[in-house]
Amino acid sequence: MFMGEYVHTIDLKGRIIIPAKFREHLNDGFILTRGMDGCLFGYPPEEWVHFEEKLKKLSIAKKDARAFTRFFFSGATEVNVDKQGRINIPTTLRQHASLEKDCVIIGVSNRIEIWSQDRWNEYFTMSEDAFNDIAENLFDFE
């Protein structure tokens, strides 16, 4: 399980350090793709297979299913962690997530997300204000 929030800098070549706590599950490489809300999603291979199976079950007769599947697969790439604990993020993915300098890498259960720090701060502030309402709509706390 991935959890936590870490701030790192992306260099001019598109390399970023993956937090040590995440590397133990990602050292053999992982799949990086466009994520929702303007970030990148990173899946360990076994989680990517589960996600891929779900996408395969979508009907290609449905326009939204085709668009959603294209969005994820066209941006997907396998990345490997180097000896310094870094990955190289392709230009198209950096552009999608507006990754230029300061970045935030977060753990979200079965995946990691890579955000530009500005975009993350904006998203977090908006979501924090609505957190109680979101929780109330999703869960029955007892």
* Strand partners for 16: 87
Distance, in Å, from the CA atom of 48 to the CA atom of 31, rounded to the nearest integer, reads: 7
Structural tokens at position 8:
């790192």
Structural tokens at position 137:
């709509």
Average pLDDT, the chain: 94
Return left, alpha or beta for 23; rule: phi > 0 is left, psi -120 to 50 is alpha, else beta: alpha
Kindly report the pTM of this predicted structure. 0.93
- Condensed to tens digits (0 to 9), the pLDDT of residues 103-137 reads 999 999 999 999 999 999 999 998 877 877 777 77
Structural tokens at position 109:
């259960």
Task: State the pLDDT at residue 135.
Answer: 77
- Condensed to tens digits (0 to 9), the pLDDT of residues 43-61 reads 999 999 999 999 999 999 9
* CATH code of residue 112: 3.40.1550.20
Alpha-helical (H) ranges within 27-116 are: 45-56, 63-75, 91-97
Domain tally, the chain = 1
For residue 98, CA distances in Å to 42, 51, 104 come to 16, 24, 12
Supply the range of the domain harboring residue 49.
2-138
- Condensed to tens digits (0 to 9), the pLDDT of residues 57-107 reads 999 999 999 999 999 999 999 999 999 999 999 999 999 999 999 999 999
pLDDT band at 32 (very low <50, low <70, confident <90, very high): very high
